[in-house]
Amino acid sequence: MVETKEISELTRSNRIAMLAHISTVTVMVFFMIWESVRGQLSPVYMTIATVVGVIPLIGEVICWKGNTEHAMIKHLVSYGFSLFYTICLFTSPTNLIYVFVIPMIFVVTTYSDTRYLLLINTGTILESIIVVVIGATKGGFGYHGIEAAVVQIVVMIMVGANSVLTTKVIRENARKRFTEVAQAKAEAENLLERNEELDQQLSGNIADINVRFEKLTAASKTTTEAMQEVSAGATDTAEHVQNQLEQTHAIQDKVDEVATAVEEIGNSMTLTLKALAEGKQDIEHLASEVEASVDNGTEVTEKLENLNQYMDEMNSIVELIGGITNQTSLLALNASIEAARAGEAGRGFSVVATEISGMATRTKEATVHITELISNVSNAIMEVVGVVSNMIDGINEEKTGASNAEESFESIEDNTRAIQKNADTLSRSISELQNANKEIIDSIQTISAISQQVSAHAGETMQAEEENLNVMQDVSAIMQKLAKLAAHS
């Protein structure tokens, strides 16, 4: 590999100035030879002018060989060409000789010396003015009229002004570039320092990355194994899900049977409530009838007690009649005794006494019989009162039973309504259970599909993880090479 030597700015300016000087003088000498051949210039003049033009070139070459940055090269180029140009300008038969100084002026701008360039331009402008003035007044110098003269002077002024401005711009640009270069140098130094720090950090980071890649590789292997387990688990899950789906369908069938049974229970509860309503009405009617029977029994008891009192009064009357009968018998006996005493006179009275005695006897017998009847009736009444009392007690028990039955019917009705309400709630719950079971079936089918997808994706992921593992191994090898390079840098 060939190393390029760094060229300084002054060396570059000296070289371009020398090349421009040599090429311009060569062209001007060529035209002088041409004019000499045509007879417009003498060979002696041509030789002298050529020597004047070549001598500075020889000096420049000598200085260049000694030191490419020799300061004399600039002066030899400027003053040597100015002398040669002045001789040619004042001796040439054409007025276009001033054109050859223009490229040399712009070449001198590479030195960025405004004062030096201003001095050269002032000289060339004054020479052009002198040539034009003398040519206009006395002729010669290739004067071809005022127009060409004005053009020559204006062109030289413009060239001088533009060259000076160009030099200023070049110097300003150079200054700015120098500032930028200085800043760039400072930034480069900072970057170098930062690069050293970054190299150290890079070495540490590479080592850290190697450790992380080793962990990542281990994690990738673990992930691959996990994906294998996931794939197997997904297959098992799909089988379990299928079994669950079958069990869920069986549950759905049982739920449908329960729903049918609950509907039948609801219908039975409706009929039961209707029967309970009718039974309740019958119990209420029975209770009212029992209440009426109790009232009637009470009234019968009261009547029988009154009748028993009447029988007691009748016994008193019969006893009174018995007393009267006894007294009548005694009176009849006394009358018979008195009639017997009277004899015939008392026979009629004796007959009457006998009849009265017979009537008293029959009355007594009737009284005894009435007493027996009254006693029997009284006993019968007392038995009837006992029976009625027992009947009232039974009716009261029936009333209590009817009341209890009514309460039981109400309790049964409440319980039946509660059962019906619970049956309705159960029916709604079963309906919700059916809907939920359908959703479970849909979810299970979705889970089954997802399980299949998971199994497929697990296989793809496992394959991708294996590829990632290979890539990470390659990257790990590259990172190890980088670590070695960072260690050697």
Joined tokens for residue 220: 């990738």
Sole residue written with tokens 């009649």? 321
- Quote the pTM value: 0.38
Length of the chain: 489
Residue from 103, 127, 124, 121 nearest 164 by CA: 121
Question: 199: which residues sit within 8 A by CB, 6+ positions away?
Answer: 486, 489
Q: Give the Cα separation of 419 and 416 in Å (integer).
A: 5
- Are the CB atoms for 395 and 295 separated by under 8 Å? no
Cα dihedral 188, 193, 197, 203 in deg (nearest 10): 70
Ordered structural domains, the chain, with CATH? 9-144 (no CATH), 230-321+361-485 (1.10.287.950)
pLDDT tens per residue across all 489 residues of the chain: 444 456 788 898 889 989 999 999 999 899 888 888 888 888 888 899 899 999 999 999 999 999 988 989 989 988 888 899 888 888 777 777 888 888 888 888 888 888 888 888 888 888 888 877 876 676 655 556 677 777 778 888 888 788 788 878 877 887 887 788 788 788 878 877 777 776 677 667 776 777 776 777 777 677 777 667 766 776 776 677 677 777 777 777 877 877 787 788 778 778 877 887 887 788 778 778 878 877 887 888 888 788 878 878 887 887 888 888 888 888 878 877 877 877 777 777 677 778 887 887 888 788 888 888 888 888 888 888 788 788 788 877 877 877 777 777 778 878 878 877 887 887 887 788 778 778 877 877 787 777 677 677 667 777 777 777 777 777 777 877 776 776 666
